[in-house]
Structure 1
Amino acid sequence: MITPWDGADFAGAKLAALVDGHILTYRRDNKPGIPWPGLIDLPGGGREGDESPAACVLRELHEEFGLHLREQRIWWARPFSAMDAPGRTGWFLAATITQAEIAAIRFGNEGHSPQLLGLDAFLTSSDAIAPLQQRLRLVLETPQNYAVP
């Protein structure tokens, strides 16, 4: 899927990387001054240059987890109000990953405790970032077989 991005400016993007009823997560650092310290987060981050939402989130996935995905693997994408940039837009995207890709993870230096969480565990966790939980619910309402293309 090519994201339905119209070229408009945006602050950043987050990715729901799904595999076998689980979602790829990590725990944010517990540092003063960062948004959502210590909470469970998803891959993603701020836009660099003139990146598209897909290019932004896939670059962040590589930086944070060492994974390379092609844009065609993204099957859901939608703009929302940015979570940490009032008045700006952020993107939420979904892609299916494989167990082999999970085994190849090389976690970067932001955050800690990368893990696969069951979808229900992520959606009900009081330690997860609430807007990401809400956005994942919308993704899961979309008919999809989660097959890797």
Structure 2
Amino acid sequence: MTTEPDFHGAKVAVFIGDSILVYRRDDRPDIPFPNMLDLPGGGRENGESGAECVARETYEEFGIRIAIDDFRHVETYPNWRGEGKVALFFVCQLASQILEDIVFGDEGQGWSTMTVPEFLASKDAVPHLQMRVQDYLSN
């Protein structure tokens, strides 16, 4: 059995067909990556596992419940801040019907799906998350 490293937070690439689920961050100067396209996920709470973290964050951000077993940890990365605990990156594949269940939360300006090539080429996407998705697709 593999144990997870002590981590700061986790993100997940939720693939729906040939698209990826994204949201536009709030446009505020006091947050990292304002007004950029982001993936579900965030900071760890109360000692939760990586899969529990992304499941909770996906529910908080998109109102959809995804089973813990549907998330697959694919990589551990240095924290984007360059210091402190590592960050975990997960992937999840869902059926398109899940889009009907989305109830967008109170963080961010709105959500959408994009084709993976659009996300990877977007100047508006959080750059280190584009690299995470690219790394996953390259393996």
Tell whether the structures are fold-level matches, with TM greater than 0.5.
yes
> Does the 8 A contact of 2:73 with 2:88 survive in 1?
no
CA RMSD of aligned residues (A): 1.5
1:118 aligned to 100, 115, 131, which one?
115
Matched residue, 1:138? 135
Q: Determine the structure 1 residue equivalent to 2:72.
A: 75
1:26 is matched with 23
The residue identity in structure 1 corresponding to 2:104 is F
1:72-120 per-residue CA deviation (whole Å, 9 max, x = no partner) reads: 2123421101124623200110000111111110000000220001100
Gaps of 5+ in 1: 143-149
In 2, Cα distance between the equivalents of 1:86 and 1:35?
15
SS state at 2:54 partner: helix
Asked if 1:105 corresponds to 2:102, the answer is yes
TM-score by length of 1: 0.87
- In the other structure, the counterpart of 1:54 is 51
* Paired position in structure 2 for 1:147: none
Give how far 1:47 is off. Answer: 0.3
Corresponding residue pairs, total: 139
1:9 corresponds to which of 2, 6, 27:
6
Per-residue CA deviation, residues 10-50 of structure 1 (Å, 9 max, x unaligned), is 11000100011100000000111100001000000000011
Q: Give the direction of change, closer, same or farther, for the CA distance of 1:59–1:85 in structure 2 (3 Å limit).
A: farther
| Alpha-carbon distance in 1 for matches of 2:112, 2:128 | 19
Query: SS state of the match for residue 15, structure 2?
Result: strand
Give the whole-Å Cα distance in 2 for the aligned partners of 1:85 and 1:25. Answer: 24
- Where structure 2 has 5 or more consecutive residues not aligned to the other structure, the ranges are none
The CA distance in 1 between the partners of 2:66 and 2:78, in whole Å, is 25
> Which residue type is aligned with residue 123 of structure 1?
L
Asked if structure 2 preserves the Cα contact closer than 8 Å seen for 1:11 and 1:85, the reply is no
Name the aligned partner's letter for residue 68 of structure 2: E
